[in-house]
């Protein structure tokens, strides 16, 4: 039986300054439809530092855990019952965990009560979705005006080996020495390493304000607890808004080795950059890893070349085994971003000019019917094919780690993936290599059971 603690916790940040009416609405929301979601995500935050991304096992281990949002004279208080003891030191909650728990409540309730429930928010149009992303980020105080571009998005897998993990720290260190800040998906592995490396470099540079931004969504955070380095946690309502938040906030992207989720992110970004409306928009994109990962990036490059064509490959650089070159290349790219935004009167803190078509914004429900219906056809416009491929990989992520995806696969069997024969063969080889290299093996498990079957004609 895992050790647990029952206690009362006052929130941090903006939750300390809510009106009585706002607290009442938050309390009501936490007792209604939002209760189960809040419970699941809060447990993940309190379990930060664990080594398993099995959300169902975590819920079972702490089946007696409860979180209740209480209205008190001082505003708001959280009653935690049977919470993981690892979130506490000498009976007192760790400050970083308290901040992340407060951010979780802030974002879940804000979207549920102030956006989804309000008719003035148009969630069925491209502009309306972008405005929603903007408002969630603004409410979280994530956007910082009057500051030059300095945010680097780092994507990569949670299940990487020690050599690749150390490399992500080295890259983060070189970025930090150049006074760049880090955004990741907030989990372990390649999402944690760059923040750790940058933290040491920021300390050497005596920087007083250092940003380690973690962006997640309810389905992911329940399986991948935020790492302790994250000092700005944002929970977007779904994977599509999460991905849009990355590219609207960030000024460049570095991609480390990963698995299906990382491939989804690569396809998402390339699909956007291949949109003709974004042809002249600078956005540095670097794929990098140690020498041991050269084969991985060749497979990714070959897959992109086959599916999206040589033009897609022109939108990124592959740099192997040289963190300093990675950082210098990113600095040069960000300077171009800064100049372009000045020339076009675009904000440094939110990339309004980036055109994102609605196919990349509409939430994809990864059920068996939708997965089987995806068009994987090279005759499609390149950015549309990228969007469909992104949805396909997103579905595999859901079947791997998200509770609803796990249940659907258990009930209905594996997803069937169908499409162009050449692409299906290449995809099958890519996915098999991920499995062989342990990039799709869940931490704590001895083997990986695929949630999909690739149909090769």
What distance, in Å, lies between the first and last C-alpha atoms of the chain? 50
For all residues of the chain together, what is the average pLDDT?
A: 89
Here the tokens at position 171 are 């890259």
**Per-residue model confidence as pLDDT tens digits over 382-425:** 988 999 999 998 888 888 777 778 888 888 999 998 889 999 88
Indicate the burial class of 129 (C-beta count within 10 angstroms; 0-12, 13-18, 19 or more): buried
**Per-residue model confidence as pLDDT tens digits over 24-72:** 766 776 677 778 888 888 988 998 765 455 556 666 778 888 888 887 7
**Per-residue model confidence as pLDDT tens digits over 60-109:** 778 888 888 887 776 788 889 999 888 999 989 999 999 999 999 889 88
Q: For the chain, which residues make up each domain, given as ranges?
A: 4-120, 138-343, 358-454
- Unique residue bearing structure tokens 């050449």: 422
CATH of domain 4-120: 3.30.1850.10
Q: Which residues partner with 182 through β-bridges?
A: 152, 212
For the cut 80, the answer to whether the pLDDT of residue 448 exceeds it is: no
**Per-residue model confidence as pLDDT tens digits over 14-23:** 676 666 766 7
Mean per-residue pLDDT for 430-441? Answer: 81
Q: What is the pLDDT of residue 40?
A: 85
Task: Using alpha carbons, select from 199, 200, 182, 201 the residue that is nearest to residue 191.
Answer: 182
Virtual torsion, Cα 251, 256, 262, 263, nearest 10 deg: 100
**Per-residue model confidence as pLDDT tens digits over 185-229:** 998 999 999 999 999 999 999 998 999 999 999 888 877 789 999
- 324 φ/ψ angles, rounded to the nearest 5 degrees: -65, -40
**Per-residue model confidence as pLDDT tens digits over 149-183:** 999 999 999 889 999 999 999 999 999 999 999 99
Give the C-alpha separation, 74 to 48, whole Å: 28
Mean per-residue pLDDT for 102-129? Answer: 88
Class of domain 138-343: alpha beta
**Pairwise pLDDT comparison (120 vs 316), residue with the higher score:** 316
For the cut 50, the answer to whether the pLDDT of residue 443 exceeds it is: no
- 294 φ/ψ angles, rounded to the nearest 5 degrees: -60, -40
Q: What is the pLDDT of residue 309?
A: 93
For the cut 70, the answer to whether the pLDDT of residue 1 exceeds it is: no
Q: What is the pLDDT of residue 50?
A: 55
* pLDDT band at residue 457 under the 50/70/90 scheme: low
Q: What is the pLDDT of residue 200?
A: 97
């Amino acid at each position: 039986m895992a050790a647990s603690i029952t206690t009362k916790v006052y929130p941090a940040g903006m939750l300390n300054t809510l009106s009585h009416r706002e607290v009442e609405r938050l309390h009501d929301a936490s007792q209604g439809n939002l209760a189960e979601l809040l419970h699941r995500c809060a447990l993940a935050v309190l379990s930060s530092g664990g080594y398993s991304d099995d959300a169902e096992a975590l819920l079972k281990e702490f089946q007696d855990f409860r979180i209740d949002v209480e209205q008190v004279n001082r505003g708001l208080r959280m009653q935690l019952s049977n919470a993981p003891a690892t979130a506490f030191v000498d009976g007192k909650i760790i400050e970083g965990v308290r901040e992340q728990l407060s951010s979780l409540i802030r974002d879940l309730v804000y979207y549920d009560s102030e956006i989804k429930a309000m008719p003035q928010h148009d969630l069925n149009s491209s502009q309306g979705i972008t405005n929603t992303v903007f408002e969630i980020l603004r409410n979280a105080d994530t956007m910082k005006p009057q500051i030059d571009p300095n945010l680097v998005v780092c994507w990569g897998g949670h299940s990487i080996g020690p050599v690749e993990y150390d490399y992500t720290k080295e890259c983060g260190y070189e970025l930090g020495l150049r006074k760049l800040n880090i955004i990741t998906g907030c989990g372990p592995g390649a999402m944690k390493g760059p923040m750790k490396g940058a933290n040491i470099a920021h300390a050497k540079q005596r920087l007083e304000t250092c940003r380690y931004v973690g962006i997640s969504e309810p389905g992911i955070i329940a399986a991948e607890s935020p790492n302790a380095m994250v000092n700005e946690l944002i929970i977007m309502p779904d994977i599509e808004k999460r991905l849009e938040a990355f590219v609207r906030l960030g000024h460049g992207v570095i991609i480390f080795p990963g698995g299906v989720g990382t491939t989804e992110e690569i396809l998402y970004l390339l699909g956007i950059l291949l949109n003709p409306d974004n042809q002249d928009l600078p956005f540095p994109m670097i794929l990098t890893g140690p020498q041991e990962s050269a084969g991985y990036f060749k497979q990714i490059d070959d897959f992109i070349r086959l599916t999206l064509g040589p033009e897609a490959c022109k939108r990124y650089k592959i740099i192997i085994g040289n963190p300093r070159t990675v950082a210098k290349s990113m600095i040069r790219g960000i300077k171009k971003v800064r100049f372009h935004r000045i020339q076009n009167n675009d904000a440094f803190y939110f990339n309004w000019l980036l055109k994102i078509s609605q196919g990349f914004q509409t939430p994809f429900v990864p059920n068996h019917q939708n997965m089987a219906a995806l068009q994987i056809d090279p005759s499609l416009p390149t950015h549309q094919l990228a969007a469909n491929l992104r949805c396909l990989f997103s579905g595999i992520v859901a079947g791997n780690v998200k509770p609803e995806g796990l249940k659907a696969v258990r009930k209905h069997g594996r997803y069937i993936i169908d499409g162009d024969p050449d692409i299906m063969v290449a995809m099958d080889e890519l996915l098999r290599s991920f499995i062989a290299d342990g990039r799709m093996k869940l931490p704590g498990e001895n083997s990986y059971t695929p949630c999909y079957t690739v149909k090769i004609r």
